[in-house]
Amino acid sequence: MHTQQILTVEDDSAIRRGIVDSLRFAGYLPFEAATGDIGMQMAIKQSYDLVLLDLVLPGCSGLDILRAIRDVRPAQPVIILTARGDENDRVAGLRLGADDYVVKPFSVKELLARVEAVLRRSPERPRDVAQLRVRGATVDLPRCEVRYDDGTRVDLSEKEVELLRYLASNPGRAISRDELLLRVWQLNPRGLATRTIDMHVTRLREKLRDDPAQPSMVLTVRGKGYMFANPI
């Protein structure tokens, strides 16, 4: 059975040691880095199931490391560790694609609960999808376009492509709006009220010629969210 590996990048030795010991006691295989430069090398050159990332580090910052991780491993689970007053950095981290954050000082129980939650969600991360064959058309995601068999071409926005890629990479699974906000829009859904997902789904259905009254590709799952089905 695979022992899940977790990298902790934290310059405070006491906090880092406490995290590492707690992770090991909980059955994980922990690794650690005390500086941003070492953390950067470990995070992009080695493979981990999760990265715990402090934002304020000697050497390169945690945000620099997060950007680099997203460039080489877009689906890498990351939890950022922040001080209580660093709201701007926390928001920046979430927008760069962090999965969650923990505010210092935190309890071991809280940290482990968040680690478990993120790792539990990680299988939901989409596999890469480059091209889709849907009814009467080919969707070329890298080119951001839909090519219909009748010769018609329709352009997709970058966000429509990201949304469709995520849905199509999880076929047959109802995906909540909160998950889409977190994974596609890279926003923390807590307390966020927005209709942007519904509007993007409406536009996507129009471009896929998916009947909004009775959609057959991008389905609405009442009380849950949206699901991709592909009736070729």
Q: What is the CATH number of the domain that holds 164?
A: 1.10.10.10
* Same domain? 110 vs 206: no
**105 and 208 assigned to the same domain:** no
Q: How many domains does the chain have?
A: 2
Burial 116-132 (b: 16+ CB within 10 A, else e): eebbeeeeeebeebeeb
Phi and psi torsions of 199, nearest 5°: -65, -40
Final residue of a domain: which of 124, 153, 176? 124
> Are 189 and 211 part of one and the same domain?
yes
pLDDT of amino acid 231: 59
Q: Which CATH number fits the domain that encloses residue 64? A: 3.40.50.2300
pLDDT at 98: 87
Structural domain harbouring 41: 5-124
The pLDDT profile of the chain, 232 residues, written as one tens digit per residue, is 467 899 999 999 999 999 999 999 999 999 999 999 999 999 988 878 899 999 999 999 999 999 888 877 777 899 999 886 667 877 888 888 888 889 888 999 999 999 998 888 765 554 556 788 888 899 998 889 999 999 999 999 989 998 998 888 778 888 888 888 887 887 777 777 788 999 999 999 999 999 988 999 999 998 889 999 875 5
Closest CA to 9 of 65, 84, 93, 89: 65
Q: Which residues sit opposite 220 in a β-bridge? A: 226
Residue 85: predicted pLDDT: 65
Q: In the prediction, which pLDDT does 125 show?
A: 53
**What pLDDT is stored for residue 227 in this prediction?**
92
Please say whether the beta carbons of 53 and 62 come within 8 A: yes
φ/ψ of 74, rounded to 5, equals -55, -25
pLDDT for position 129: 64
- In this structure, the answer to whether residues 136 and 216 fall within a common structural domain is yes
